[in-house]
């Protein structure tokens, strides 16, 4: 079946935000005495898809307070400028009239909106699925199943583009072929179930042309 649509992850694929989320969480956890390491961030968040606040022994009230504080710090960091990944704009421009595209993200809606105030990317997409649109986040397949429902297409006619093992599993569990573009934070992940692992976001154009 020829390719009809691409379901894009956002953070780490289109915009360079993961290091800011790490920094915001690290700052917040430091207030309760936990020094978040890069390896913990990769294992707990980018691989397992769990809350980093589970690393600290927190009661429910403290957990909620720290999450709110982290979200505010993250919002402030996101507001500092254009976070577009090099080559993302050119890739979207090359694909815009050739294949349908949606974004499928684990991002909070407010954070997503802050990120894209300066990118100009949203005009390339017919829909956005964010964390208010499903119950279970990646690595569960729910986000991608919602994306397929929005498109009205079968998984066999689409591909997903991800940067992490967590996101890849979500896509594969939804029946999608997944093209992985690793970042410095995710490069050591297990991508054995990926359809293709590529070096840069611009390489998605070539994969797309092969499948059309």
What is the per-residue pLDDT across 26-77, written as a single tens digit (0 to 9) for each?
999 999 999 999 999 999 888 888 888 888 878 889 889 999 999 999 999 9
User: H-type helices in the chain, by residue range?
Assistant: 18-30, 38-40, 60-78, 88-95, 109-115, 142-151, 165-173, 203-211
Quote the pTM value: 0.92
What is the b/e burial string over 86-106, where b = at least 16 CB atoms within 10 angstroms of the residue's CB?
eebbebbeebeeebbbbbbbb
What is the per-residue pLDDT across 100-115, written as a single tens digit (0 to 9) for each?
999 999 999 999 999 9
Cβ–Cβ < 8 Å for 151, 5: yes
């Amino acid at each position: 079946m020829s390719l009809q649509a691409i379901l894009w992850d956002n953070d780490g694929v289109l915009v360079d935000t993961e290091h800011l989320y790490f920094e915001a969480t690290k700052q917040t956890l430091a207030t309760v005495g936990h020094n978040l390491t890069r390896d913990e961030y990769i294992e707990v968040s980018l691989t397992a898809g769990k809350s980093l606040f589970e690393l600290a022994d927190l009661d429910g009230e403290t957990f909620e307070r720290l999450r709110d504080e982290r979200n505010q710090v993250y919002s402030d960091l996101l507001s500092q400028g254009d976070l577009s990944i090099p080559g993302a704009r050119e890739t979207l421009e090359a694909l815009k009239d050739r294949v349908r595209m949606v974004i499928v993200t684990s991002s909070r809606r407010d954070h997503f909106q802050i990120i894209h105030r300066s990118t100009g990317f949203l005009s390339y997409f017919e829909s956005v699925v964010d964390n208010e649109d499903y119950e279970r986040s990646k690595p569960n397949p729910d986000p991608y199943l919602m994306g397929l429902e929005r498109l009205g297409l079968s998984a066999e006619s689409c591909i997903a583009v991800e940067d992490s093992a967590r996101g890849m599993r979500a896509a594969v569990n939804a029946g999608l072929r997944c093209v992985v573009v690793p970042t410095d934070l995710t490069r050591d992940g297990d991508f054995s179930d990926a359809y293709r692992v590529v070096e840069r976001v611009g390489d998605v154009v070539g994969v797309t042309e092969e499948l059309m």
